[in-house]
């Protein structure tokens, strides 16, 4: 048998894929691609949420300190300061200090939250790449 006969036999032995089979594979591949992109998006969002947890906790702690300080300090510190500056001035001083400390904690936590990128950037880049690949660019 010559080399030409072998090539013809190999081609005939291997069945050609039909258009239907190719389209089915394309749809399956696209479904798998979308599923993997959705998993990636979920992973990125979870990572961003985990990164934001500490900042959110700082904001919550700051808010809690401001509210607790308004009650606890106004009881103990006002009683102490009232002996030297009067009850009204004592209450104002204690409230100002509590609000200042709580405000600093809130500002610190909000500043950290602003630096966290919550958008799924890898997903966006992958989707852009996939669209370009499908367009054939």
Q: What is the pLDDT of residues 120-129, one digit of tens each?
A: 677 777 777 8
Name the nearest CA neighbour of 69 among 98, 31, 111.
Answer: 98
Query: How much is the pLDDT for 137?
Result: 54
Q: What are phi and psi of 4, to 5 degrees?
A: -70, -40
102 near 62, Cβ under 8 Å?
yes
- pTM equals 0.39
Average pLDDT of 17-39?
A: 83
Between the alpha carbon of residue 13 and those of residues 7, 16, 54, 61, the distances in Å are 10, 9, 63, 73
More confident call, 7 vs 77: 77
Q: What is the pLDDT of residue 107?
A: 94
- CA-to-CA distance for 66 and 57, rounded, in angstroms? 14
Over residues 57-101, the pLDDT tens digits come to: 888 999 888 888 768 766 888 899 999 999 888 888 888 988 898
| First-residue to last-residue Cα distance in the chain | 45
Tens of pLDDT, residue by residue over 96-118, are: 988 898 899 999 999 988 888 77
Q: Quick one: pLDDT band at residue 2, thresholds 50, 70, 90?
A: low
């Amino acid at each position: 048998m010559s080399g030409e006969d072998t090539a013809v036999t190999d081609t005939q032995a291997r069945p050609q894929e039909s258009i239907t089979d190719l389209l089915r594979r394309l749809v399956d591949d696209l479904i798998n691609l979308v599923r993997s992109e959705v998993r990636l998006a979920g992973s990125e969002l979870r990572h961003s949420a985990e990164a934001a947890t500490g900042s959110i906790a700082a904001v919550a702690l700051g808010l809690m300190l401001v509210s607790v300080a308004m009650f606890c300090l106004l009881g103990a510190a006002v009683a102490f300061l009232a002996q030297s500056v009067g009850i009204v001035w004592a209450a104002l001083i204690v409230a100002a200090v509590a609000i200042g400390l709580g405000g600093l904690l809130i500002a610190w936590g909000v500043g950290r939250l602003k630096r966290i990128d919550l958008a799924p950037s890898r997903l966006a880049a992958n989707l852009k790449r996939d669209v370009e690949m499908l367009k054939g660019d």
